[in-house]
């Protein structure tokens, strides 16, 4: 098994290696990652420098939100693996970013599904495509995922399946050190319109139940939380407030382009970034996740030139330096976990005790401030 996994990320990766992992399922799938640590001595989550949050797994290298992308991110040093949760038609929660399958799967090669194309209104925009909510889990699993961006490595297209929320959790739990999860309640308005669960349950109920089933609980930095760290993120404030009644896990409100309306309230992100709104929402969330153009966990850091801001000389390390050392963020979403990890390892070995201590103490003060602000309803 260790041999198979060592091969898994070499250029001659073949699909049977991955299938082999899935076929070995028992109660929950098991994703053993190569580990130098003995069982029961997992290295804890680091809390002394900003979190390295692997955005959709190591999707700069492998197709996003697939098991290999998450396993690669863990090997490269991610503190958290990040995902987007949507639902299948039959109510199974899956890891997938877009509400439609068009951009990142081989759906167009499946003639049996050609008549499933639909147009639905998504956040006030009529959107046409193959929606995950029109496919059962079994049907979704017959598709294969592909790389989103044409300028990235295409060699893994068509090899990996869409995974479920539970499979994603299993990957984090099987990591050789403590690795947190960072799932998003994605498009809750659309999901609740199209998918019905027994007993009148909502998408948010299923989402929190899944976390609880695997033992995720506790407020930010509590003992339970440190054993199994998780942040719940959403662009939908109403869903986060609803979820705050179900779990005390920390929640992060994502802030989109400030000119567009939020998914579930009739307010723009401009309105909900006012001081008054922050006073209200901070009862329910421990932090905000702004887009790096607006600015605790900004997204998304990418190595390629077209995503870098001008004044960083096309150098992703300069961009990390600015946000970590000048702005003082607490975590970053990156498509290139390995690059952020390299940056953090190099700079920490160069820095003196003094600057390390200053940084750690600055982070602790921020965390203390966030916890004080957080009141359970």
Ligand X SMILES: *[C@@H]1O[C@H](CO)[C@@H](O)[C@H](O)[C@H]1NC(C)=O
Residue 121 contacts ligand X per CB under 6 A: yes
For ligand X, which is the closer residue by CB, 157 or 238?
Answer: 238
Instruction: Give 9 or 278: the residue with its C-beta nearer to ligand X.
Output: 278
CB of 270 to ligand X, least distance (A): 14
| Least separation in angstroms between CB 260 and ligand X | 13
Closer by beta carbon to ligand X, 266 or else 311? 266
Burial category of 149 from C-beta neighbours within 10 Å (exposed 0-12, middle 13-18, buried 19 and up): middle
Nearer CB in complex with ligand X: 70/242:
242
* Helix runs in the chain, H state only: 2-8, 15-23, 67-75, 137-141, 165-173, 188-194, 203-213, 223-227, 237-243, 275-281, 316-321, 337-350, 353-373
Host H or E run for residue 129: strand 125-129
Place of tokens 């987007």: 84
| CB-count burial class (<10 Å; 0-12, 13-18, 19+) for 202 | middle
Beta bridge partners of 315: none
Range 277-316, binding ligand X (CB under 6 A): none
CB of 124 to ligand X, least distance (A): 5
State how beta strands 93-95 and 80-87 pair.
antiparallel
**Pair type for strands 125-129 and 180-185:** unpaired
Nearer to ligand X, 10 or 126 (CB): 126
Residues in contact with ligand X, total (CB under 6 A)?
8
Contact 300, 97 (CB under 8 A): no
- Shortest separation between residue 84's beta carbon and ligand X, angstroms: 23
Q: Which is nearer to ligand X, 234 or 303 (CB)?
A: 234
First and final CA of the chain: distance in angstroms? 47
User: Cα 355 from chain centroid?
Assistant: 30
* CB 243, min distance to ligand X, A: 9
Contact between 124 and ligand X per CB under 6 A = yes
Using CB under 6 A as the binding rule, whether residue 200 contacts ligand X is answered as no
Binding mask 232-271 for ligand X (x = CB under 6 A): ---------xx--x--------------------x-----
CB of 242 to ligand X, least distance (A): 5
Best CA proximity match to 76, nearest among 319, 336, 298:
336
Cis status, amide bond into 300, omega within 30 of 0 = yes
Instruction: Please state whether beta strands 125-129 and 118-122 pair in parallel, antiparallel, or not at all (unpaired).
Output: antiparallel
8 A C-beta contact, residue 20 and residue 32: no
Q: Which of 115, 126, 259, 311 contacts ligand X by CB under 6 A?
A: 126
| Distance (Å, whole) CA 29 – CA 169 | 10
Binders in 309-368 for ligand X, by CB under 6 A: 353
Beta carbon nearer to ligand X, 10 or 353: 353
CB of 75 to ligand X, least distance (A): 26
Judged by beta carbon, residue 36 or residue 376, the one nearer ligand X is: 376
Q: In angstroms, what is the minimal distance from the CB of 281 to ligand X?
A: 12
Stretch that binds ligand X, among 41-49, 119-127, 194-202, 330-338 (CB under 6 A): 119-127
CB atoms within 10 A of CB 289: 23
Interface with ligand X by CB under 6 A: which residues?
A: 121, 124, 126, 241-242, 245, 266, 353
């Amino acid at each position: 098994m260790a041999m198979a996994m060592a091969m898994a990320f070499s250029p001659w990766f073949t699909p049977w290696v991955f299938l082999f992992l899935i076929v070995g399922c028992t109660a929950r799938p098991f994703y053993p990652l190569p580990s130098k640590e003995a069982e029961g001595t997992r290295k804890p989550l680091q809390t002394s420098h900003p979190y390295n949050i692997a955005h959709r797994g190591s999707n700069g290298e492998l197709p996003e939100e697939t098991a290999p992308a998450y396993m690669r991110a863990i090997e490269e040093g991610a503190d958290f693996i990040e995902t987007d949760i949507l639902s299948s038609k039959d109510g199974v929660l899956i890891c997938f970013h877009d509400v439609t399958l068009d951009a990142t799967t081989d759906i167009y090669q499946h003639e049996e599904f050609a008549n499933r194309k639909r147009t639905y209104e998504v956040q006030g925009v009529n959107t046409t495509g193959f929606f995950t909510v029109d496919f059962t889990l079994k049907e979704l699993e017959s598709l294969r995922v592909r790389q989103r961006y044409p300028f990235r490595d295409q060699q893994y297209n068509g090899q990996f399946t869409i995974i479920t929320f539970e499979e994603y959790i299993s990957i984090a739990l099987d990591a050789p050190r403590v690795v947190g999860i960072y799932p998003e309640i994605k498009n809750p308005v659309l999901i609740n319109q199209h998918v019905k669960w027994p007993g009148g349950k909502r998408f948010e109920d299923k989402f929190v139940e899944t976390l609880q089933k695997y033992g995720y609980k506790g407020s930010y930095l509590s003992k339970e939380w440190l054993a199994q760290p998780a942040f719940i993120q959403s662009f939908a404030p109403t869903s986060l407030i609803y979820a705050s009644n179900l779990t005390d896990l920390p929640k992060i409100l994502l802030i989109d382009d400030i000119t567009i309306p939020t998914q579930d309230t009739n307010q723009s992100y401009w309105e909900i970034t006012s001081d008054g709104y922050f006073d209200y929402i901070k009862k329910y969330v421990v932090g905000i996740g702004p887009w790096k153009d607006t600015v605790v966990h900004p997204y998304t850091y990418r190595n390629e030139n077209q995503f870098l801001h001008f004044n960083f000389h096309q150098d992703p390390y300069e961009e990390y330096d600015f946000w970590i050392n000048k702005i003082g963020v607490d975590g970053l979403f990156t498509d290139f976990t390995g690059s952020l990890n390299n940056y953090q390892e190099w700079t920490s070995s160069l820095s003196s005790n003094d600057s390390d201590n200053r940084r750690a103490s600055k982070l602790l003060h921020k965390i203390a401030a966030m916890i004080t602000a957080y009141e359970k309803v």
